[in-house]
Amino acid sequence: EAQVTQNPRYLITVTGKKLTVTCSQNMNHEYMSWYRQDPGLGLRQIYYSMNVEVTDKGDVPEGYKVSRKEKRNFPLILESPSPNQTSLYFCASSFSPRRNTDTQYFGPGTRLTVL
Amino acid sequence: DQQVKQNSPSLSVQEGRISILNCDYTNSMFDYFLWYKKYPAEGPTFLISISSIKDKNEDGRFTVFLNKSAKHLSLHIVPSQPGDSAVYFCAASGDFNKFYFGSGTKLNVKP
On whether any CB of chain B is under 8 Å from the CB of A107, the answer is: yes
Inter-residue contact B108 to B11 (CB < 8 Å): yes
Beta carbons of B44 and A98 less than 8 Å apart: no
Q: For residue A38, what are the β-bridge partners? A: A42
Residues of A in contact with B45 (CB under 8 A): 106
Q: What is the pLDDT of residues A59-98, one digit of tens each?
A: 999 999 999 999 999 999 999 999 999 999 999 999 876 6
CA–CA dist B3, B93 (Å, integer) = 10
Q: What is the pLDDT of residue A99?
A: 64
Give whole-number Cα distances, A112 to A46, A76, B11, B51, B95, in Å. 15, 12, 29, 34, 30
Q: What is the pLDDT of residue A104?
A: 87
- For residue A88, the number of C-alpha atoms closer than 13 Å in the C-beta half-sphere is 16
Residues of B in contact with A4 (CB under 8 A): 43
Which amino acid makes up residue B24?
Answer: D
| More reliable by pLDDT, A40 or B70 | B70
Sign, CA torsion A33/A34/A37/A41 = negative
Q: What is the pLDDT of residue A46?
A: 97
Which amino acid makes up residue A44?
Answer: R
**How much is the average pLDDT of A102-114?**
92
Which amino acid makes up residue A90?
Answer: F
Inter-residue contact A40 to B98 (CB < 8 Å): no
Angle ∠(B11,B6,A94) on CA atoms, nearest 5:
105
Nearest to A107 among B36, B43, B101 (CB): B43
Cβ neighbour number for residue B60 with a 10 Å cutoff: 8
Each of the 111 residues of chain B gets a pLDDT tens digit; together they read 789 999 999 999 999 999 999 999 999 999 999 999 999 999 999 999 999 999 999 999 999 999 999 999 999 999 999 999 999 999 999 876 899 999 999 999 999
- In chain A, how long is the greatest CA-to-CA distance? 42
Q: What is the pLDDT of residue B40?
A: 92
Average pLDDT of every residue of chain A: 93
CA–CA dist B58, B49 (Å, integer) = 9
